[in-house]
Amino acid sequence: MLTYRPRLKRLRLLALLAVTTTIGTAVVVAEPPSAAAGALPATIPLTFKNSSGRSEQVYVYNLGTDLATGRQGWADAGGTFHPWPAGGSVPVPAPDAAIAGPANGQSMTIRLPKFSGRIYFSYGQKLVFKLATGGLVQPAVQNPSDPNRNILFNWSEYTLNDSGLWINSTQVDMMSVPYAVGLKRPDGSVASTGRLKPGGYRGFFDALRGQPGGWAGLVQTRSDGTVLRALAPGHGIEAGALPPGIMDDYINRVWTKYATSTLTVTPFANQPSVKYYGRVSGGVMNFSDGSGTRVTSFQKPDSDSVFGCYKRLDAPNDQVRGPISRTLCAGFNRSTLLTNPNQPDTSSAGFYRDTVTNHYARKIHAQMVDGKAYGFAFDDVGAHESLVHDAAPQQAYVTLDPLD
């Protein structure tokens, strides 16, 4: 069984996309404030534009959870929800949920229902989805036997409810074919994010291949020479493509520093008086509140815990451990814990400066037009994530960009 990695993201509903084999993410956060029932129409349009420059047929999928019922399933091009049938102890093929996408240079419009899920898109081949007794089995391409391993594909994530639309691009699990997301606001203006700089796609892969220390191993290429993706470093460790101790030197230095000094975490930007104080003792980082009461403790994490923001950096959806953990996770991935004892450090000027850092996330951010991305699970700490939101969206957009 491959690893199931929970992840926290602000302003998103619980997206129970899968409970068995997944590519690695489940969204767990506080629900946005509710608006009055019926504040938005039952569906909104999403324009899907193909500017990829590629000739293959594109297939589009809208998979996730129907927010009215909590049932998992898929939506067709008209926005009608279809629940998944029962799966089996041996996974069985899921119904074909593919929507034929537009040719290069063309656009199409589908309808998004009130849903929390993913919009997958693949080039040249349909994706393989199966149903187990626990739910949908999604692609897990860090597994060399996964049937989607040699398919060029990617996905966006979104939640649409009566409080509005949240839609983002993501590289938390892999960096693959480029795309941008956006939405139209009631005043007609368009907000977008996720777009790479010209030449940024190849620039990212060239930079990753040139990074010493084994980072080139994250790149997966098809037998015909097509670059399919770069695995996120946690999945790279799982697949044996990245050394498992690649972050150990930095982790050790952090643990040494805070054995003799204090790490101050102020996890809520709107609650500056809420602070927690961390000190390492006996190999454990203990956090106390202002009264000196211990509130939570962390064993020294390994590299996988850092990259996945789980295991020894688990972040439950609570008001104490989860917020502290996400702050630690961001500090480790951005390598700011040694340079700033007051976390979170939200200024990107100091990110990724140590030689031991999450070079995968660093190189993704460097190639983004607006500098924003989801290079790891808590990239939203300090608002560095590639997310757009509006309470009354008129339309959504996904644009497939060139692989240059």
- pLDDT tens digits along 56-88: 999 999 999 999 999 999 999 999 999 999 999
Number of domains comprising the chain: 2
Same domain membership, residue 392 and residue 308: no
Residue 237 domain flag: no
Q: What pLDDT, on a 0 to 100 scale, did the predictor assign at position 26? A: 30
Same domain membership, residue 56 and residue 167: yes
Same domain membership, residue 275 and residue 172: no
User: Average pLDDT, whole number, for the chain?
Assistant: 91
Residue 240 domain flag: no
From the candidates 146, 173, 238, 380, give the one annotated as an active-site residue: 173
Residue 72: name the closest of 33, 18, 137, 7 by CA: 18
pLDDT in tens, 318-339: 999 999 999 999 999 999 999 9
321 CB-near residues (< 8 Å, 6+ apart) = 295, 296, 314, 315
Same domain membership, residue 164 and residue 38: yes
157 is catalytic: yes
Which whole-number Å values give the CA distances from 280 to 245, 310, 312, 341, in the listed order?
A: 21, 19, 15, 13
Amino acid at 224: D
From the candidates 157, 304, 379, 385, give the one annotated as an active-site residue: 157
Same domain membership, residue 183 and residue 122: yes
pLDDT in tens, 247-305: 999 999 999 999 999 999 999 999 999 999 999 999 999 999 999 999 999 999 999 99
- The range of the structural domain enclosing residue 33 comes to 6-197+371-400
The rounded distance, in Å, linking the Cα atoms of 157 and 98 is 17
Q: How confident is the model at residue 15 (pLDDT cuts 50, 70, 90)?
A: very low
Predicted structure pTM score? 0.91
Structure tokens given for 299: 């064993």
Q: How confident is the model at residue 39 (pLDDT cuts 50, 70, 90)?
A: confident
Same domain membership, residue 376 and residue 262: no
pLDDT in tens, 358-399: 999 999 999 999 999 999 999 999 999 999 999 999 999 999
Q: What pLDDT, on a 0 to 100 scale, did the predictor assign at position 34? A: 40
Contact 393, 379 (CB under 8 A): no
Same domain membership, residue 312 and residue 190: no
Residue 223 domain flag: no
pLDDT in tens, 89-136: 999 999 999 999 999 999 999 999 999 999 999 999 999 999 999 999
Let me know the angle formed at the C-alpha of 311 by 264 and 175, rounded to the nearest 5 degrees: 95
> What value does the mean pLDDT take over residues 152-179?
97
CB atoms within 10 A of CB 36: 7
Same domain membership, residue 300 and residue 322: yes
pLDDT reading at 14 higher than 90: no
Amino acid at 230: A
Dihedral in degrees, nearest 10, Cα atoms 356, 360, 362, 367: 150
Determine which of 35-44, 155-164, 313-322, 332-341 has the lowest per-residue pLDDT on average.
35-44
Residue 270 domain flag: yes
Structure tokens given for 307: 């990259």
CATH code at position 294: 3.30.920.50
Which whole-number Å values give the CA distances from 325 to 89, 143, 386, in the listed order?
A: 35, 28, 21
